[in-house]
């Protein structure tokens, strides 16, 4: 395949995920490691950016029969369309439901991007500007043109001007070292590891990439606290790892959380499923008008019983 202007500047791994739709990420990284994908006849890495005119050699890939599941159910498409917070000619903002992956892969037939494309036709470009974990709900930004994608990704980068705030329910009385609503700034570099099967784990490591999060507690009780997290960088699993690093893992986080506490809460509490992490607000500069725009995503109703059980109030809005 010869790369045209539409795909110029895209990372190779993301390009391959789009070409081999339905393929698990582990398969994509495996064929890259083995050198089965070539760019201009040379070996290539997952992070390599494609340039217009590049010639990409693709190996034959056999997918499971379940990988091509046909058109997604109309009910799922309509449910996701109801979650759109804003849409114009160059971008779309979605209040992503918890439990829905952003793209399909191993064990996931339909992701956000697949459902939205199915409702609009393959001819219209629609690309993820950033990602949210499957169990994280809230503001998710998508671009409808290559120019908008690059401009928005620049804002979402480590030194970008996009403002991302999350709400989370964490175990314990949040950090007794601070008083009132004084913010707690966490500067802890993060190292990402790719484990067998494509699972990603992130840990605090001096050799990792700089990562900065400001936590502000909203309401505290002995068992749990409702906090706000503002991201100053956009590292993988940043809020989850930094929260655990300061001793207050997110409720329901099966990867970085407290297994015993999660189990206890699920058995004796409101049987809350998933993870109590929500992308509450997003502030960007519009790629066309250059005006500041803010989007707020209401909390999912599934949080209501959890907050009531923990004697935490329902938050009004992020600030």
Active site residues: 133
How does DSSP classify residue 159? T
What is the per-residue burial (b if ≥16 Cβ within 10 Å, else e) of 60-92?
eeeeeeebeeeebeeebbeebeebebeeeebbb
Spatial CA neighbour of 213 closest among 224, 201, 197, 202: 202
Cα-flanking dihedrals φ and ψ of residue 82, to 5°? -70, -10
Spatial CA neighbour of 273 closest among 292, 294, 255, 252: 252
Cα-flanking dihedrals φ and ψ of residue 215, to 5°? -100, 140
CA 133 to chain CA mean position, Å: 4
The kind and range of the H/E element at 14 are helix 12-19
What are the contacts of 107-112 at 24+ separation with CB within 8 A? Answer: 107/24, 108/134, 109/66, 109/69, 109/72, 110/69, 110/72, 110/76, 112/80, 112/140
């Amino acid at each position: 395949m010869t790369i045209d202007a539409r795909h110029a500047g895209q990372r190779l791994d993301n390009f391959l995920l789009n070409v081999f739709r339905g393929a698990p990420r582990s398969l994509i990284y495996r064929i890259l490691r083995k050198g089965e994908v070539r760019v201009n006849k040379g070996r290539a890495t997952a992070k390599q950016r494609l340039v217009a005119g590049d010639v990409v050699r693709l190996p034959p890939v056999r997918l499971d029969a379940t990988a091509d599941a046909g058109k997604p159910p109309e009910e799922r498409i309509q449910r996701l369309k109801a979650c759109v917070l804003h849409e114009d000619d160059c971008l779309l903002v979605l209040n992503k439901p918890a439990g829905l992956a952003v793209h399909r892969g191993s064990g996931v037939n339909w992701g956000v991007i697949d459902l939205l494309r199915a409702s609009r036709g393959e001819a219209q470009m629609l690309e993820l500007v950033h990602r949210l974990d499957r169990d994280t709900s809230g503001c998710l930004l998508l671009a409808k043109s290559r120019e908008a994608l690059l401009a928005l990704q620049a804002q979402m980068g480590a030194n970008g001007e996009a403002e991302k705030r999350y709400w989370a329910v964490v175990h314990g009385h949040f950090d007794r070292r601070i008083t009132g609503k004084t913010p707690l700034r966490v500067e802890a570099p993060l190292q990402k590891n790719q484990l067998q099967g494509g699972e990603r784990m992130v840990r605090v490591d001096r050799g990792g990439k700089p990562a900065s999060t400001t936590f502000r507690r909203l309401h505290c009780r002995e068992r749990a606290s409702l906090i706000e997290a503002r991201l100053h960088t956009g590292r993988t699993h940043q809020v989850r790892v930094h929260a655990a690093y300061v001793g207050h893992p997110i409720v329901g986080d099966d990867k970085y959380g407290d297994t015993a506490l999660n189990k206890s809460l699920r058995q004796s509490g409101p049987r809350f499923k998933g993870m109590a992490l929500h992308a509450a607000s997003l502030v960007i500069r519009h790629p066309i008008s250059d005006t500041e725009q803010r989007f707020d995503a209401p909390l999912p109703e599934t949080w209501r019983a959890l907050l009531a059980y923990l004697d935490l109030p329902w938050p009004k809005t992020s600030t």
